[in-house]
Amino acid sequence: MSPDSERLTEFEQRSRAMLHEGVLRVDGRIRSRLNQARQAAVAEAAARRPTFWRFFTLVPTAGAAAAALLVTMVLWHRQPQIELPVAEGTHSTVEDLDLLADSEGLDLMEGGDNSFYEWALDQADSPGGADG
């Protein structure tokens, strides 16, 4: 037995044997005509394929090349950002950094009375409170 027949189930083996016996029972002249018809059908199917269908075999390759070109163009021609983003309002980042760097100011905030800071926040939040 061949390695293929060892992997087949019993049903598959019996079906294959019955088909083989059926082919052997067919007359040699009929088998020859069937084989010629099959060969003619295969040749006609191969010759019938128009050049139009050959175009579609190139579509995946052309699509991949177009996508790669698009990604390259987008990434390569990106304009650099000229201005840095600025926070809204007149608040300065440098002032924030100065406050954080001032260790005495942090000691006052931690050990001092927070009522002043609460009052300042209320004044800044109220309309017209920032006028002075």
Which of 17, 22, 14 lies closest to 30, judged by CA?
A: 22
- Interval 65-121: pLDDT, tens: 999 999 888 887 766 666 666 556 656 677 777 767 777 666 666 666 677 777 887
Q: CA angle, corner 39, sides to 35 and 40, nearest 5?
A: 115
Q: Which residue type is seen at 58? A: L
The domain ranges of the chain are 3-59, 93-126
Q: What is the mean pLDDT of the chain?
A: 76
Note the pTM of the prediction, 2 decimals: 0.27
pLDDT tier at 132, thresholds 50, 70, 90: very low
Q: Who's near 8: CB < 8 A, 6+ residues apart?
A: 16
Which of 129, 109, 125 lies closest to 117, judged by CA?
A: 109
Specify the pLDDT at position 17: 93
